[in-house]
Structure 1
Amino acid sequence: MAKLFSAEWMTQFKDAWNSDPEIKDKLAEINFNSTISWGFKDEENPRGIIVVENGECVRASDWAGETPDWDLRADLSDWLKWVQKGIGMMGLGAAYATGKLKFKTGDYKSMIKDPRMAGPFVKTFGILQQIGADELG
């Protein structure tokens, strides 16, 4: 298994994203384009990033100074819990409401109210459990 948010892990995330029609195709229907980063609440910069064009993840790598449209942050322990056990819509809402999941950039409330985006967003968290991860070194 790859280290969480490493370039190798982000590439696995990209491949899983693109192979899931409930993510890729649904986001293509709304011409979704975005730069999305992931990282930890206690760090200034994100760790990993993907670039999405018309629903398809076209690049995944270590963060290299890009300005994300969406920047999702949580503590390592929470990310690893979601990797092991998964998380659904209710769990994501609770994680956001309690501050376990932070959006450093991006508007969670408007996104989650739009079913065209909310469904694929929740599915991306399923990828965490699907590909797994090692703790950081």
Structure 2
Amino acid sequence: MRKSYSVLIENIFSLLTLRALEYVLAFILVPYLIRVLGPLHFGMIAFMQGIMEYFRIFVDFGYSLTAPKAIAQAEEQKIGSLFAKYFYGKVCILIFVTAVFFAVYNLQRIFLGNTIDILLFQVMYCGIIGNVLFPVWFFQG
């Protein structure tokens, strides 16, 4: 019992240290990035990160809640089929979201004449692709 208590304290301390370093790093980096990029470009990046979070939420589609439970409760021989089902489901949603975005992008460019920085979108979209390809939900299960 004493051993598990010390491991718990060590894990809590490690997580607190990690979170504190994230805040300190953000506190240092944000003013630097605003100075280097300028307010306009920094705002464009922040706006695109917000849009990408909506994409990430839509592509995730609750898999981070249902998949770990299903994998944890599954028998050993069914884990592979569950992994394939959830993984290919996320890939299909990613393809659908990408097609819808480019359709809306082209329609608004034609009718409204507004354009977003498509290169910035593509760079930020790599995070969504990474979210789909790296199955965090599988390791949680």
Instruction: Give the shorter-chain TM-score range.
Output: under 0.3
Q: Which has the larger radius of gyration?
A: 2
Structure with the higher fraction of residues in strand conformation: 1
With the length of structure 2 as denominator, give the TM-score of the two structures: 0.27
With the length of structure 1 as denominator, give the TM-score of the two structures: 0.28
Structure with the higher fraction of residues in helix conformation: 2
